[in-house]
Amino acid sequence: MPALSRRTFLKTTAGAGVALAAPRLMAAPATVALRCSISQPADQNSAQYIWYERFAADLKQSVGDRIRVDIFPNGQLGKESDVVQQVRLGSIDMMITGSSIWATALPELALLDMGFVFDSWDHVNKSVDAGVGEQFNKLLQARTGCTFIGWGNHFNARSVYTKKVVEHDADLKNVKLRVLPTPIFVETFKLMGAIPTPIPINELYTAVQTGVVDGFEHDAATVLSSKFNEVVTNCWLTNHLFSPSITAIGKRGMSKLPKDLAPAFLKAATEASQYQRQVAGSKGTEALAALQKGGIQFHPMDPAERQRIRQTMEDKLWPGVTAQYPVTKPMLDIINQSRA
């Protein structure tokens, strides 16, 4: 074989270098990984996880491996109130939670926590889709840079669970009820005659068991999963609050998304919300049936009494919220117009 000249050798090795480099130029785009926090378990008894599971599946189908959302269940990344701040700062990308939790960043969300403002999950969904969700999203983006990308349902509305039988608001007089530590919740139950007592949920079981409180208000699925039904025997089925489940992403999290994939990301969130709403309804029915089978006695609220209490809230509670946050008045109008 004849010897290679220096010029021929250089041409040959240069070509080889190009050939070796070419595969690197055609490598697949890097995966964008986002961290998402939920306070509930990662199973089918969790309204938050059901939303995430469908979202992740839709995202995988539409963008492949270019975006991956990793879930951190059971509050692994911290208390929900702390996670809100971490999403704002960008150290956590996303979270799925109840709308009440974001009131620390957007106090106007108190509108959604007003007692008896919604009549059903269908009423919630109609209101959100008719503009309430988008108006809150615009406020959130202007205030924090974060974005609400999904609006789902919890499995049940919140009702009153007690040791003794409660069938009317007169029966609530001097009853100590654990409520969420927000002014709206406290005022709602003051108007209903109870003694509202804010207590962290991780202390609730013992508080009821030892008589610190006589009961609490919550949704059936949480009562079941937290075994609160072991310390109470009755439920006054008030359905006083239909609080939406929301998914929020921080400004930094959104900036990580490739611009060409952002529409697919948001579309997957919308589809997950629609799916989760449907599943939540059947899950809620199952939770109520399981509690009844386990010994909880349910006492439905009389429709005429519900209307009377709702009127009390409309007269004495709602005006304070819309006066303090005037931007919520058009949203309340949408809610009332969406009422069946």
- Class of the CATH domain delimited by 32-155+243-287: alpha beta
For the chain, domain boundaries: 32-155+243-287
Q: What is the mean pLDDT of residues 229-257?
A: 96
Average pLDDT over every residue of 203-228? 93
Phi, psi (rounded to 5 degrees) for 213: -130, 160
- pLDDT for 6: 52
Phi/psi at 243 (nearest 5 deg)? -90, 120
Strands 67-72, 32-38: pairing kind: parallel
Q: Is the pLDDT of residue 14 over 70?
A: no
- Cβ atoms of residues 112 and 140 within 8 Å: no
CA distance 285 to 267: 28
Q: Which residue from 221, 178, 182, 220 is spatially nearest to 201, judged by alpha carbons? A: 178
- Average pLDDT of the residues in 27-56: 90
Contact 35, 94 (CB under 8 A): yes
Query: 105 by DSSP, 3-state: which?
Result: coil
CB contact at 8 A, 276 and 215: no
pLDDT digit string, tens, across residues 116-161: 999 999 999 999 999 999 999 999 999 999 999 999 999 999 999 9
Q: Is the pLDDT score of 20 beyond 60? A: no
Residue 26 is predicted with a pLDDT of 54
> Interior CA angle at 114 toward 220 and 147, to 5°?
85
Q: 308: Cβ–Cβ under 8 A, 6 or more apart, which residues?
A: none
| DSSP notation for 241-297 | E-PPEEEEE-HHHHHHS-TTTHHHHHHHHHHHHHHHHHHHHHHHHHHHHHHHHTTPE
pLDDT of residue 37: 96
pLDDT at 55 over 80: yes
Q: How far apart are the first and last CA of the chain?
A: 91
pLDDT tens-place string over residues 261-290 = 999 999 999 999 999 999 998 999 999 999
Q: Are strands 158-162 and 234-241 parallel, antiparallel or unpaired?
A: antiparallel
Higher pLDDT, 339 or 147: 147
Report field, pTM of the whole predicted structure over 0.95: no
The mean of the pLDDT values for the chain is 91
Query: What is the rounded average pLDDT of the residues 34-56?
Result: 93
What would you report as the CA-atom Rg of the chain, rounded to the nearest whole angstrom?
25
Q: For residues 209 and 226, give the distance between their C-alpha atoms in angstroms, rounded to a whole number.
A: 14
- Whether residue 65 is predicted with pLDDT greater than 50 in this model: the reply is yes
Q: What is the pLDDT of residue 200?
A: 82
3 band by pLDDT with thresholds 50, 70 and 90? low
CA distance 259 to 170: 57
